[in-house]
């Protein structure tokens, strides 16, 4: 589940996700030498922005869970049934992109 949350966050907020990966604060642009320092900065200075992002990710995931039945099939394949249609995704990233486009 933890990895899926990261995939969904990346699909919903790609610029924020990439900025953090690059060691930069996505909100003020400050650069950091380590992830620990960036994490501390985000939690102290931008906690409200992080809460808003977390709420949006949770809301999109909740909408999907309400509208769909999710099943895992085999190695990595994910099948969901939405409005009578069965959709199969080959990866968490593909499913996250679908959620971002249809449930955000």
Q: What is the pLDDT of residues 32-82, one digit of tens each?
A: 999 999 999 999 999 999 999 999 999 998 888 888 887 766 667 888 888
DSSP 34-102: SHHHHHHHHHHHSHHHHHHHHHHHHHHHHHHHHHEEEEEETTTEEEEEETTEEEEESSHHHHHHHHHHH
Helical packing angle, 2-12 and 14-21, nearest 10°: 120
**Whether residue 1 has pLDDT greater than 80:** no
Question: Domain range spanning residue 49?
Answer: 2-102
Structural domain count of the chain: 1
**Whether residue 2 has pLDDT greater than 80:** no
Q: Of 19-23, 25-29, 46-50, 100-104, which range is least confident?
A: 100-104
């Amino acid at each position: 589940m933890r990895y899926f949350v990261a995939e969904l966050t990346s699909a919903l907020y790609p610029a924020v996700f990439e900025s953090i990966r690059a060691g930069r604060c996505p909100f003020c642009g400050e650069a950091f030498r380590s992830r620990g320092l960036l994490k501390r900065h985000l939690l102290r200075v931008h906690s409200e922005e992080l809460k808003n992002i977390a709420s949006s990710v949770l809301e999109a995931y909740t909408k999907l869970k309400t509208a769909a039945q999710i099943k895992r099939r085999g190695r990595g394949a994910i099948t969901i049934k939405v409005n009578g249609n069965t959709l199969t995704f080959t990866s968490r990233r593909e499913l996250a992109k679908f959620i971002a486009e249809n449930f955000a």
